[in-house]
Structure 1
């Protein structure tokens, strides 16, 4: 089975950078997109941790951006409009989890650490420094993506589920003592 979540990652990243645009300039746009992509990748790997999970979302689709668009008061998009195709691959839970990771470095570090034994990480090792340790350039490039108050409506949508997933992954890795 495929570990490919590229459609979900690409579409959800696109949604985040359109909903929360970068500061002016091409370099800022690139840095902002890199941060969003790292957060979305971590969130997608947490949400769909196994090859079976990834195959199922590829088969069924993630649900689309309609509720997210409504939440951030974006223009409604026509079902048959030019934006239709990629918007159908936006995953609301992944966007919510990515928003939470972008606004909390501690949570982002915990999430990246939780992926140590993840099949996705084994299949394609990644470096998530822009997510976990953003420098001054990263923060200036993506002030909206990193702003906790502005991101709160999206981040809070599925925050309890993110914390539960991290708790589960942590408890799965914690050895139990035999008495």
Structure 2
């Protein structure tokens, strides 16, 4: 059974950067993509923490981007050959929602990366996710739309409660 989440992570990060494009040239595009990829990686690893979870999502498929497109107003325009949009079938709505939440809430992002480090060596975690956890001014400018809380609110709010449950299982339930 395939347990590699990289197609799901790549597609979800790509959806984020298509829906909330970088501002600037080639460097801005690379910086924005790096931030989206780091957020999608953390979100995917939280969502599918075991090899069995990863195997099941790769077997069943993550669901695609159709609902996210509608919610974000990022529906693809015009007719495109299927191969141009095949990657969109690998977009995971929950992972995209969690990644959006991590991109717009630094405290939540730090909590998520710390949750990944539980039970694993933590020496490389902060450096591995530096653009997510501590973006510099160039990162922020490049990903101005991708990190804008108001713009991402419809997507980040979709599964926010599930993310909080995953990160803080002992918290009291909201009344």
TM-score of the aligned structures, taking structure 2 as reference length: 0.88
**How many residues get paired?**
168
Which segments of structure 1 move beyond 6 Å, counting only runs of 4 or more? 77-80
Within the alignment, does 1:154 sit opposite 2:155 as a pair?
yes
RMSD of Structure 2 on Structure 1 (CA): 2.3
Aligned mates of 2:39, 2:119 — CA distance in 1: 16
What stretches of structure 2 of length at least 5 have no aligned partner?
none
Task: Give runs of aligned pairs for residues 113-124 of structure 1, distance below 5 A.
Answer: 113-117=114-118
Q: Which residue of structure 1 aligns with residue 65 of structure 2?
A: 65
Q: CA deviation at 1:128?
A: 0.2
Q: CA deviation at 1:74?
A: 2.3
Spell out, residue by residue over 1:119-161, the C-alpha distance to the aligned partner (whole angstroms, 9 max, x if none).
7x89x97710100111111101100011000010000000000
What stretches of structure 1 of length at least 5 have no aligned partner?
172-179
Cα distance, 1:53–1:118 mapped onto 2, change above 3 Å: farther
Q: Which residue of structure 1 aligns with residue 164 of structure 2?
A: 163
Within the alignment, does 1:107 sit opposite 2:105 as a pair?
no
Q: Which residue of structure 1 aligns with residue 91 of structure 2?
A: 90
Q: CA deviation at 1:167?
A: 1.4
Maintained 8 Å contact 1:49/1:118? no
Aligned mates of 1:62, 1:84 — CA distance in 2: 15
Aligned mates of 2:2, 2:60 — CA distance in 1: 14
Q: Which residue of structure 2 aligns with residue 30 of structure 1?
A: 30
Question: What is the DSSP-based 3-state SS (H/G/I as helix, E as strand, rest coil) of the residue aligned with 2:168?
Answer: helix
Q: CA deviation at 1:85?
A: 1.3
TM-score of the aligned structures, taking structure 1 as reference length: 0.86
